[in-house]
């Protein structure tokens, strides 16, 4: 399993722990709540879902809304498939949540882990935050050393780009210091249960407490555009 597919499986299990969803809703949540998945497609999501079903961590159920079933019938399609987390899937996700190894400190995996900190034990949150800070401090030291060696050979624009990269890492280190201090002081954010978090997201568009450094505003990127309407062929049995 590749690192990225492992992160996707983790995120899918975490979102389905909040509530059952069909594929289009899952893709929308992955795009809006976990920005690291903005570029992925249905061609990536559905093989992941099939793998999770084959492992016994998810089950497939027909959509229950009568109007959905009627619309599908009139269009000559089958009702949408809803994916639900099994007891084994919940246990597996909780096991994944307890992991604190070096892979949890890397850029993409850390963002996904942080998105589910509300479901993570405080001691595990601390180890992941401290590991991430240590990794960034190492990165920052290497960047400073590289800049000191090559400063005289760089043109103004390349030098400014290097400085910008260093400042971004320094900002995240400061952010992590604040989070770690808050956790140590017992002031960790009160997080809603998975059920209430899902309801809040459906009604107010909440992003689930994602790290600010990964948002479009802080990273300098543009906000994602309007969601595209679902393809009529999506989320049907094959």
Mean pLDDT of 111-118: 91
Q: Give the full edge-to-edge strand order of the sheet including 21-22.
A: 21-22, 81-85, 58-62
Look at phi and psi of residue 189 and say left if phi exceeds 0, alpha if psi is from -120 to 50, else beta. Answer: beta
Between 135 and 207, the more confident residue is 135
| Cβ pair 144, 121 in contact under 8 A | no
Q: What is the DSSP letter of 237?
A: -
> Tens digit of pLDDT for each residue in 151-210?
889 899 999 999 999 999 999 999 999 999 999 998 655 444 444 444 444 433 333 333
pTM above 0.75, yes or no: no
User: Which pLDDT value is given to residue 200?
Assistant: 43
pLDDT above 80: residue 79: no
Least confident residue range of 8-12, 110-114, 189-193, 230-234: 230-234
Give the pLDDT band (50/70/90) at residue 214.
Answer: very low
221 three-state secondary structure = coil
| Element of type H or E holding 82 | strand 81-85
For residue 61, give the nearest of 20, 9, 12 by alpha carbon: 20
| Cβ pair 47, 202 in contact under 8 A | no
Count of alpha carbons within 13 Å of 227, Cβ hemisphere only? 15
pLDDT above 80: residue 61: yes
Tokens of 106: 């890397």
């Amino acid at each position: 399993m590749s690192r990225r597919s492992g992160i996707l499986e983790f995120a899918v299990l975490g979102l389905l722990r909040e509530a059952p969803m069909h594929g289009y809703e899952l893709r929308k949540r992955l795009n809006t709540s976990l920005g690291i998945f903005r570029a992925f497609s249905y061609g990536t999501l559905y093989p992941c879902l099939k793998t999770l079903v084959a492992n016994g961590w998810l089950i497939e159920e027909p959509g229950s809304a009568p109007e959905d079933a009627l619309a599908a019938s009139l269009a000559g399609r089958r009702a949408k498939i809803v994916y639900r987390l099994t007891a084994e899937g919940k246990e597996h996700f909780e096991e994944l949540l307890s992991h604190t190894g070096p892979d949890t400190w890397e850029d993409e995996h850390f963002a996904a882990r942080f998105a589910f900190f509300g479901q993570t034990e405080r001691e595990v949150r601390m180890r992941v935050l401290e590991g991430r800070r240590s990794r960034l401090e190492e990165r920052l030291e290497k960047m400073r050393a590289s800049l000191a060696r090559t400063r005289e050979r760089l043109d103004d624009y390349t030098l400014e780009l290097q400085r910008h990269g260093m400042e971004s890492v320094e900002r995240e280190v400061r952010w992590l210091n604040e989070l770690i201090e808050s956790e140590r002081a017992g002031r960790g954010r009160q997080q809603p249960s998975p059920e209430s978090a899902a309801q809040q997201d459906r009604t107010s568009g909440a992003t689930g407490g994602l790290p600010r450094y990964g948002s479009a505003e802080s990273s300098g990127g543009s906000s994602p555009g309007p969601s595209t309407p679902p393809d009529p062929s999506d989320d049907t049995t094959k």
